[in-house]
Amino acid sequence: MRSLGLNEILFILAAARWTLLLSACAFVGGSVGGILIALMRSGRIKALRWFAFGYIKLFQGTPLLMQLVLAFFVPGIFGIDVNPWGAAALGLSLHASAFLGEIWRGSIEVVPRGQWESSAALGLRYWSQMRLVVLPQAFRIAIPPTVGFLVQLIKGTSLASIIGFVELTRAAQVINNATFHPFTIFGIVGLTYFALCWPLSAYSKRMERKLALASR
């Protein structure tokens, strides 16, 4: 039997880089998807509005765990080989697209109607209205909930352990099965997640306060 030494603890801590990388990938992928979903959902084309609505409901209404399992095993059925890393990045990106899309749709719709009308009166078309008038205002509103979701996303990466992707949680499981020191190991893991998420939460809080001041 192994003992729990520095080597094992370093292995667990080093696995946190995969947690971070996976979160970053999912956030970038989710941002691209999210902006598309938000634009479709708040746009004027009915078919796209319904598509975005369905997409959001589907991904918000099913567990992330299922989405990851499906993203990993379904392509294999059709002969497409995805590794755990690709499947986890894809699954989390699709998941993040739905949530970020909904957050950003809300932020876009909160921008007062008058802003649309007055920019239209200035002769601006949809894309210019969006880019010059609406999005800059929506952006500020969106920051706190977006960062809040990012914290959820970081914690959500732990579910990628089910498909064998070795990130922080999976590394801890493997070491725990070799050394049998669950309290120490999962204590370290919990603290590591906290160290990653807490600064983000604090940042989000600060932005919220700043925004409240700015709009008073």
Partner 1 sequence: MTRKPVGRRTLGAVALGGAAVLLPGLARRAAAATPDEIKRRGQISVGVLTDYPPFGGIDENQKPAGYDVDVAGLLAKALGVELQLVPVTGPNRIPFLLTNKVDMLIATFGITEERSKQVLFSNPYSAFTTYILAPRSTNIRGPEDLKGVRVGVARASTQDSALMAVAPREVRVMRFDDDATTTQSIISGQVQAIGASSTVLAQLTANYPNLQIEPKFTLRAQANGMAFRKQDEALRDWSNSFIASLVQSGELDRIHQRWFKAPMDPLPPMPQF
**Which residues of this chain interact with partner 1, rule CB under 8 A?**
1-2, 7, 11, 63, 65-66, 69-70, 73, 76-79, 81, 159, 162-164, 166, 173-178, 180, 182
CB of 144 to partner 1, least distance (A): 25
Q: What is the closest distance, in whole angstroms, from the C-beta atom of residue 181 to partner 1 in the complex?
A: 9
Please say which residue, 76 or 136, places its beta carbon nearer to partner 1.
76
Say how many CA atoms lie within 13 Å of 24 toward its Cβ: 7
Residue with tokens 């498909």: 163
Minimum CB distance to partner 1 smaller for 50 or for 194: 194
Length of the chain, please?
216
Nearer Cβ to partner 1 (107/176): 176
Nearer to partner 1, 77 or 213 (CB): 77
CB of 176 to partner 1, least distance (A): 4
How far is Cα 171 from Cα 211, in angstroms, rounded to an integer?
40
Instruction: Compute the distance between CA of residue 179 and CA of residue 91 in angstroms, rounded to an integer.
Output: 32
Q: Kindly state the smallest distance separating residue 96's Cβ from partner 1, in Å.
A: 19
Contact by Cβ (8 Å): 160, 92: yes
Report residue 193 as tokens.
């997640």
For helices 16-42 and 84-110, what crossing angle results, to 10°? 40
Q: DSSP secondary structure string, 5-28? A: -HHHHHHHHHTHHHHHHHHHHHHH
What number of CA atoms fall less than 13 Å from residue 34's CA on the CB side? Answer: 26
Residues 147 and 139: their CA atoms lie apart, in Å, by 12
In the complex with partner 1, which residue's Cβ is closer, 79 or 114?
79
Cβ proximity to partner 1: between 137 and 173 the closer is 173
- Taking the complex as a whole, the smallest distance from the CB of residue 130 to partner 1 amounts, in Å, to 39
Residue 37 Cβ vs partner 1, minimum distance, rounded to whole Å: 25
90 closest CA partner among 102, 100, 82: 82
